[in-house]
């Protein structure tokens, strides 16, 4: 959960006959419109803020794979308006037991960022899904599987490439050397998908269905 994710429940006071009354409203903020819609859909079905956070994060993993995904980690700060309590969940990736302070150095100098990120050296034990499952177990309302419906549908049917995703595909062209990534994010001639072109990720949809 590397992208900033904000979810809030707003309770404005509405005046009218019979005195003041509170009408619940919902707000979702995320890095992609489809993620916002996924969160709102969950709230409209009676889900909690944590339910919406799960749906948003799963959708971000589909439409913003350069910044989010089930293979990453994150933090979640939960505020309970009823108890005024705050819960913090730490789901950041854990470094392998064999990690050393010099593993990102070559001849005493730091490896170029993209070389380090795209290599096995940067792999950590993911914590995003465990974080969300724990928060959902404690604060969720809807069934866990129901929170994946929107993201599974978009991953299977496809979505237009956003400008941000197009930028990163152009920047990290080496992804084209990976067969699985090339099939999804690159054209037959080896060029990365451009803004507005549609892509789908049925393999990810299958993973989320499990």
Asked whether the predicted pLDDT for residue 100 surpasses 70, the reply is: yes
Which string of DSSP letters, residue by residue, matches 154-166?
HHHH-EEPPHHHH
- Using an 8 Å Cβ cutoff, are 42 and 58 in contact? no
- Distance CA(154)–CA(150), nearest Å, equals 6
Length of the chain: 210
Asked whether the predicted pLDDT for residue 17 surpasses 50, the reply is: no
Contacts (Cβ under 8 Å, ≥6 apart) of 192: 166, 169, 170, 173, 175, 176, 185, 186
Q: Which of 40-44, 105-109, 116-120, 175-179 has the lowest mean pLDDT?
A: 116-120
Q: How confident is the model at residue 150 (pLDDT cuts 50, 70, 90)?
A: very high
Rounded percentage of the chain residues whose pLDDT exceeds 70? 89
Asked whether the predicted pLDDT for residue 15 surpasses 90, the reply is: no
Q: Which of 71-80, 112-121, 149-158, 179-188 has the lowest mean pLDDT?
A: 112-121
The partner residues of 121 in beta bridges, in order of sequence, read none
Task: Read off the pLDDT of residues 23-69 as tens digits, 9 standing for 90 and up.
Answer: 467 889 999 999 999 999 999 999 999 999 999 999 999 999 999 99
The dihedral region occupied by 138, where left means phi > 0, alpha psi between -120 and 50, and beta the remainder, is alpha
Q: Which of 199, 109, 103, 106 has the alpha carbon at shortest distance from 155?
A: 199
Q: Does residue 21 or residue 130 have the better pLDDT? A: 130
Q: Which of 119, 123, 112, 21 has the alpha carbon at shortest distance from 72?
A: 123
């Amino acid at each position: 959960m590397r992208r900033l994710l904000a979810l809030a429940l707003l309770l404005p006071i509405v005046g009218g006959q019979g005195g003041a009354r509170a009408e619940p409203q919902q707000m979702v903020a995320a890095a992609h419109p489809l993620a916002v819609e996924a969160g709102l859909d969950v709230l409209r079905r009676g889900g909690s803020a944590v339910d919406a956070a799960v749906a948003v994060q799963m959708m971000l993993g589909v439409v913003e794979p350069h910044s989010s995904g089930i293979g990453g980690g994150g933090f979640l700060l939960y505020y309970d308006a009823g108890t005024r309590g705050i819960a913090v969940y730490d789901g950041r990736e854990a470094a392998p037991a064999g990690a050393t302070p010099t593993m990102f150095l070559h001849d005493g100098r730091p490896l170029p960022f993209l070389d380090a990120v795209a290599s096995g050296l940067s792999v950590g034990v993911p914590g995003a899904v465990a974080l969300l499952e724990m928060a959902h177990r404690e604060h969720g309302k809807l069934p866990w599987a129901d929170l994946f419906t929107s993201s599974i549908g978009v991953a299977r049917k496809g979505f237009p490439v956003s400008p941000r995703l197009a930028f990163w595909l152009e920047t990290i062209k080496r992804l084209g050397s990976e067969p699985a990534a090339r099939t999804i994010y690159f054209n037959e001639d080896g060029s990365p998908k451009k803004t507005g072109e549609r892509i789908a990720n049925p393999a990810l949809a299958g993973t989320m269905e499990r």
